[in-house]
Homo-oligomer: A and B are copies of this chain.
């Protein structure tokens, strides 16, 4: 029987996060000691490792929920799992594209500023006026 702290150490997950996963139904409800502390089996450790690894690869908790369910039914076709992964890949590729464009713009504005007063700052100039940009950066942020 493993404590929550052991799971935490073995998977690099904060204790609170493990409890959070239980709360949203991603981890099964753990058994408890007489005093109310959670105790886990190896299979819970495996499940948590699966969740964390999937998170590291960028899957959303919702996708992970689906993947876990599939993983629990070994006889089913894996088409669904593959399509989730392909969807994730497409998303990553899209974000990559946006970030690459962003990087270019940022690099350019940083490089072009000669570092005098704010009045002549290239950085601020670009921020004030999108027409100085080479790309469209549609969408926001990330």
Question: A29 at the A/B interface (Cβ < 8 Å)?
Answer: no
Q: Verify if A96 is at the interface (C-beta below 8 Å from B).
A: yes
CB within 8 Å of B: which of A70-104?
70-71, 73-79, 81-82, 84-86, 88-89, 92-93, 95-96, 99-100, 102-103
Q: Give the number of times this chain occurs in the complex, counting copies.
A: 2
Is A140's CB under 8 angstroms from B77's CB?
no
Inter-subunit contact A77/B124 (CB<8 Å): no
What band does the interface of chain A fall in when counting residues whose beta carbon is under 8 Å from B?
Answer: 35 or more
A113 — which chain B residues lie within 8 A by C-beta? 78, 81-82, 85
Judge whether B141 and A81 touch: CB under 8 Å: no
Q: Which of B46, B73, B96 contacts A128 (CB 8 A)?
A: B46
